[in-house]
Structure 1
Amino acid sequence: MASGLFMFSRASAVGIGLGLGVSFSLLHSSPFRAAPMRCDYAAGSTSSGWSLPSQDPTRKHGIAQESGIMTASNMRQISMGSVLGLVVGVGLRAFSRVLVVLLGMGIVAIEWAASKGYHIFPTKTLQKYVKSVDLDRFMSRNVPFKVTFGTTMALAAFAQF
């Protein structure tokens, strides 16, 4: 009886493996399959191959123009904010998960309100006590960093390692 079950499971394993192999091989050559995504970069005709020539019209004042949301500076801020938010969130989670969620959501809420024109954070009052830092400039710069930091910090409270 046990040998009959063993033979059945071996035959099933061979059949399943053969079926998956054939279906994946047909999937690879299917006419409905999209072309593979290529991650090539075709550099322009420059001397070094890695930089834009100084006469290029896309350069402005020595720096290549960036437009839209997906700029190098924003991507740098988003990645750094998410990494630091995770580290700080996991570190503070040892004390209190509620604290981490409230701090993270508070950062995001303050930034959202500031984008709508409401200034919740009393920068004028605190500027009297802090002389070495311009708080108005501090609150208005690096918004992508602060938003991703707060979001990832709030989400880190629910992480399970």
Structure 2
Amino acid sequence: MSFLLPGLRHGALLATPLILSTPLLYHNLRHAQSIRCDSADPLAKLGDLRSTYAHDAQTPVITQSGAPNPKAVRQISMGSILGVLGGLGISVFSKPLAILIGLGVVLLQFVESRGIHIIPYSYLQRRFRSTNVRSLVQDNVAFKLSFGLTFALAAFAEF
């Protein structure tokens, strides 16, 4: 290493572990399962951690025959109407807030569809016992996407 300049010598020493561990990192990232950011509450009892979640509210957008699902079309219509009304109501006070809320809903659905769970389901489920929190986030995607997009677009409306 004496043939390297003094500045490069330190850089090479610092970069060597990273260069040598790159194949291991690549292998771990390539074969990784979905990233989950929700974890068990460390203060909860182990018996409370069992999940009783079932996909009750799932509505596929396309049926097995290839035709649009009438329930999904109804969700798209209702989401669009409520998104425009909510977006117009919020954009009267703050247009950037309407854009951020609408795009936040769309971004959350996109991230959830990729298997990255950023909502702490077990924690929220213990706080809201009468509501299926996981179903609120993961099901009825057609409604939430149309709501989020029209909510964000309503911020650009001028009247």
TM-score (norm 2): 0.57
Which one scores higher on RCO, CA 8 angstroms, separation ≥ 6?
2
Rounded to whole Å, the distance in 2 between the matches of 1:85 and 1:134 is 23
Gaps of 5+ in 2: 1-62
The aligned runs of 1:13-52 (5 Å cut-off) are: none
Number of aligned residue pairs: 97
- The answer for the alignment partner of 1:101 in structure 2 is 99
| Partner SS for 1:92 | helix
Gaps of 5+ in 1: 1-64
Spell out, residue by residue over 1:58-105, the C-alpha distance to the aligned partner (whole angstroms, 9 max, x if none). xxxxxxx76446211111000110010000000111221111100000
Rounded to whole Å, the distance in 2 between the matches of 1:69 and 1:85 is 25
Please state if 1:86 is matched with 2:84: yes
Same amino acid, percent of matched pairs: 43
Consecutive aligned runs of 4 or more in structure 1 exceeding 2 Å deviation: 65-69
Residue 90 to residue 124, structure 1, CA distance change in 2 (3 Å): same
The aligned runs of 1:1-161 (5 Å cut-off) are: 67-68=65-66, 70-161=68-159
TM-score (norm 1): 0.57
Rounded to whole Å, the distance in 2 between the matches of 1:68 and 1:143 is 18
Rounded to whole Å, the distance in 2 between the matches of 1:81 and 1:137 is 17
Q: CA RMSD in A?
A: 1.5
Moved more, 119-128 or 102-111: 119-128
Q: Is the 8 A contact 1:110 1:121 kept in 2?
A: no
